[in-house]
């Protein structure tokens, strides 16, 4: 194109000018003012003296490409270059770029604007699975490595009285049972367990599986740990009891493997979880496969089968835990629909919250309805988040396999961000954005989840239980935010693109929320089951920021990384090694130290428990 472009065309094209062109223009603009006139005079004198042949007519063109602005010109002298800059200044007006809307509200952005954001975003080079920071959440293969073999026998007598007490304890402590695995309807189970007709009672393998879980968690935390100091309350007696019941359950399950029933299917899943709790991950998949096979034999995966509520919960739990193993392996590339564990039934809807003023019922009945409401709804939201998490992991892994050619990745992730925001918008207000400062202020001193009394030392505080459920959702929701947004900013320098900066801010907010929530649940509320797994994902963001050459970011992230380790080590899970927490923390600590480098990692772990560092402002 040899003709002079129109001003409006130049203005439109130059709106996408890259930084190199901007810097070049500014430099030339400063030089041109002082030297342009001298250069013109010199050129005229030289031309007259030597009577040079006229040079080709000065012409230039600008082309907008996907990678930025391309400029071509036949500049023959500094005079022509000055004319070029002058022409820019006369023929265009570059208006300031409008900032894109907050990343949480991308659904209102026109598709053309989204495509522009997708083109310009600073996408992380390895699509977030193993970030260029060197930190990865694919820790399951290392975490699940057994440190000792499973015993063949445990020298503990299982008496009917002990079994009765553990069954009763399981049903009275949803903080240690249903919040960990909601497959048992405790009210229905107790009625069957106490039935006079033995043929209508639950299977013995299910009873033993329930006792194994109650011994490991509720008995350890709400009974044994309350003993006087001289009676060794810190001793991990719950694990010994749990293993005794696990071994008995294993023997019974081997005898009834070819007799699938709902009881036996639930028992296999409970035994899988209990062996994870006790530090024997090698048998997790065996019990999980047994439970899945029985569920298939029972028709729970038949598309035309109408399932009961408990049957639906069972298959959704199988999917939930299997997906977590795959996510933590960095191996969740199969789509949700193609996963063999994905249920063929719909997810049961959330329960309405009981209205204490409008309902005329006994206090015990109202209490049970409130427990049912919080237990089921927290799991309903966890299942929804797991589906979204599976989707984003599948997409990221597909992009990793495709490499740089996967140009649709940013738009696909933006669509998933919309789905996550829709999920959050549909939550009841009490489940959204908990007031962490208020919760912490009401627990200035650690208080146990149980409130012992002369009648019932395991009576659960209903208000505390509700807060626990809401905080749990808060952590897992922010895990999804990190997975969806941290791909949009680099690992080695602060982003310059406005949308990438907003994604960085979103991830910082999510990571900080996870750290603060776990800090409150462990240090202030002394929770039975704090979601420590969230800290693994929060640390992904912190390690990225540690690589930025900025002192305020490095100071903030180093304090948060240290706090995440301190919180883990102060938790009940770490103290009693629930779910192999000690191995998990050891791996996380090693990854943090490796990613950050020994030179930048402090050795002082005595962080102030009263407050967390404030995140840097942009």
Q: What mean pLDDT is predicted for residues 129-152?
A: 68
Nearest to 469 by CA among 439, 442, 443: 439
Q: For the residues of 277-296, what is the DSSP string, one character each?
A: HHT-GGGHHHHHHHHHHHHH
**Per-residue burial over 499-522, b = 16 or more CB atoms within 10 Å of its CB, e = otherwise:** bbbbbbbbbbbbbbbbbbbbbbbb
Average pLDDT, the chain: 80
- Strand residue runs (E) in 464-575: none
Which of 218-227, 378-387, 392-401 has maximum average pLDDT?
378-387
**Closest C-alpha among 342, 323, 254, 339 to residue 290:** 254
| Residue whose structure tokens are 């320098």 | 493
State how beta strands 68-73 and 60-65 pair. antiparallel
Percent of the chain, pLDDT > 90?
47
pLDDT value of residue 70 = 56
Six-digit token string for 64: 């907008």
3-class DSSP state of 228: coil
- Cβ neighbours of residue 368 under 8 Å, at least 6 residues apart? 187
Alpha-carbon distances of 574 from 565, 579, 585, rounded to whole Å: 11, 9, 8
Between residues 5 and 513, the one the model is more confident about:
513
Q: How many angstroms separate the Cα of 143 from the Cα of each of 236, 272, 401, 482, 574?
A: 21, 16, 25, 22, 14
As a three-state string, the secondary structure of 350-363 is CCCCCCCCCCCCCH
218 within a domain of the structure (yes/no)? no
Task: Tell me the two tokens of residue 139.
Answer: 């820790």
For residue 79, what are the domain limits? 7-96
Report the alpha-carbon distance of residue 341 to residue 165 in Å, rounded. 34
Instruction: Examine the pLDDT at 445 and tell me if it is beyond 80.
Output: no
Residues 6+ apart with CB under 8 A from 313: 182, 183, 348, 379
Higher pLDDT, 141 or 259: 259
What does the alpha-carbon distance between residue 204 and residue 191 come to, in Å, rounded to a whole number?
A: 15
How many distinct structural domains can be found in the chain? 1
At 385 the pLDDT is: 97
Contact (Cβ atoms closer than 8 angstroms) between residue 272 and residue 291: yes
E strand segments, 469-549 = none
Domain assignment present for 20:
yes
Q: Characterise 122 by phi-psi region: left (phi > 0), alpha (psi -120 to 50), beta (else).
A: beta
Distance separating alpha carbons of residues 182 and 266, to the nearest angstrom: 10
Average pLDDT over residues 335-347: 82
- Identify which has the larger pLDDT, 46 or 300: 300
Rounded-to-10 torsion of CA 32, 34, 37, 39: -70
pLDDT in tens, 52-85: 445 556 566 665 554 455 566 665 554 565 556 5
pLDDT score of 323 more than 60? yes
- The answer as to whether 485 is a domain residue is no
User: Confidence class of residue 128 from pLDDT cuts 50, 70 and 90?
Assistant: very low
Mutual orientation of helices 284-297 and 262-278 as an angle, nearest 10°?
170
5's CB contacts (< 8 A; 6+ apart) are 61, 62, 91
The encoded tokens of residue 330 equal 């960095």
List C-alpha distances in Å: 537 to 7, 131, 196, 521, 581.
50, 12, 50, 17, 16
CA dist 6 and 91 (Å) reads 8
Whether residue 125 is contained in a domain is answered as no
DSSP alpha helices (H): ranges in 121-201?
A: 140-143, 160-172, 186-193
- Output the pLDDT for position 194: 96
More confident site: 59 or 224: 224
Confidence of residue 374 (pLDDT cuts 50, 70, 90): very high
Q: Compute φ and ψ for 63, nearest 5 degrees.
A: -125, 130
Q: Among 110-114, 442-446, 499-503, whose mean pLDDT is lowest?
A: 442-446
Residue 24 domain-assigned (yes or no): yes
Q: What percentage of the chain has pLDDT greater than the value 70?
A: 71
Is 432 part of any domain?
no
Task: Find the range with the poorest average confidence among 88-102, 263-277, 387-401, 506-520.
Answer: 88-102
Residue 486 lies in a domain: no
Residue 115 lies in a domain: no
User: Pick from 585, 461, 436: which is nearest to 519 by CA?
Assistant: 436
Question: Sorting pLDDT into bands at 50, 70 and 90, what band is 107?
Answer: low
As given in the structure block, the two tokens for residue 316 are 């959704």
408-431 pLDDT, tens digit each: 888 999 999 999 999 999 999 999
């Amino acid at each position: 194109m040899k003709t002079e472009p129109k001003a409006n065309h130049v203005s439109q094209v130059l709106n996408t000018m890259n930084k190199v062109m901007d810097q070049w223009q500014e430099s030339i603009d400063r030089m041109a003012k002082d030297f342009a006139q001298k250069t013109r005079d010199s050129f005229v004198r030289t031309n007259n003296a030597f009577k040079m042949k006229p040079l080709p007519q000065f012409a230039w063109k600008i082309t907008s490409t996907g990678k930025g602005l391309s400029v071509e010109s036949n500049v023959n002298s500094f005079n022509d270059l000055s004319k070029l800059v002058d022409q820019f200044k006369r023929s265009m007006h570059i208006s300031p770029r409008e900032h894109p809307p907050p990343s949480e509200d991308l659904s209102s952005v026109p598709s053309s604007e989204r495509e522009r954001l997708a083109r310009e975003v600073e996408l992380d080079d390895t699509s977030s699975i193993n970030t260029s920071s060197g930190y990865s959440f694919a820790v399951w293969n290392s975490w699940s490595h057994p440190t000792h073999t499973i015993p063949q026998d445990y020298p503990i007598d299982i008496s009917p009285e002990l079994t009765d007490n553990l069954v009763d304890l399981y049903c009275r402590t949803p903080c240690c049972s249903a919040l960990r695995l909601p497959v048992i309807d405790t009210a229905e189970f107790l009625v069957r367990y106490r039935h006079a007709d033995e043929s209508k009672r639950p299977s013995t393998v299910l009873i033993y599986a329930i006792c194994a879980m109650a011994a490991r968690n509720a008995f350890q935390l709400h009974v044994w740990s309350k003993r006087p100091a001289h009676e060794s309350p810190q001793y991990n007696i719950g694990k010994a009891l749990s293993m005794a019941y696990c071994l008995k359950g294993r023997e019974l399950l081997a005898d009834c493997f070819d007799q699938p029933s709902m009881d036996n299917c639930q028992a296999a899943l409970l035994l899988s979880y209990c062996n994870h709790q006790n530090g024997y991950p090698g048998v997790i998949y065996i019990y999980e496969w047994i439970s899945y096979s029985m569920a298939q034999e029972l028709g729970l995966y038949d598309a035309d089968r109408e399932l009961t509520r408990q049957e639906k919960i069972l298959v959704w739990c199988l999917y939930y835990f299997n997906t977590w193993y795959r996510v933590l392996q960095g191996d969740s590339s199969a789509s949700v629909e193609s996963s063999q564990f994905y249920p063929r039934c719909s997810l049961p809807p959330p329960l309405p919250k009981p209205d204490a003023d409008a309902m005329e019922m006994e206090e015990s009945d109202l209490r049970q309805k409130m427990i049912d409401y919080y237990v089921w709804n927290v799991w309903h939201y966890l299942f929804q988040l797991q589906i979204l998490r599976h989707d984003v992991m599948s997409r990221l892994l597909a992009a990793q396999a495709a490499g740089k050619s996967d140009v649709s990745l940013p738009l696909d992730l933006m669509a998933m961000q919309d789905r996550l925001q829709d999920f959050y918008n549909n939550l009841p207000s009490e489940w959204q954005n908990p007031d962490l400062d208020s919760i912490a202020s009401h627990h200035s001193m650690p208080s146990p989840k149980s409130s012992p009394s002369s009648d019932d030392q395991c009576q659960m505080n209903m208000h505390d239980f509700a807060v626990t459920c809401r905080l749990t959702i808060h952590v897992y929701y922010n895990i999804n935010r990190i997975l969806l947004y941290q791909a949009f900013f680099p690992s080695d320098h602060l982003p310059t693109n406005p949308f990438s900066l907003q994604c960085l801010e979103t991830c910082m907010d999510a990571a900080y929320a996870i750290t603060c929530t776990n800090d409150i649940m462990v240090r202030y509320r002394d929770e039975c089951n704090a979601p420590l797994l969230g800290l693994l994902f929060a640390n992904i963001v912190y390690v990225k920021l540690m690589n930025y050459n900025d002192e305020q970011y490095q100071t903030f992230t180093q304090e948060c990384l240290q706090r995440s380790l301190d919180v883990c080590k102060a938790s009940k899970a770490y103290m009693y090694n629930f779910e192999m927490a000690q191995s998990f923390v050891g791996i996380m600590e090693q990854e943090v130290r490796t990613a950050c480098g020994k030179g930048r990692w402090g050795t002082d772990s005595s962080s102030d428990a009263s407050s967390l560092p404030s995140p840097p402002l942009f």
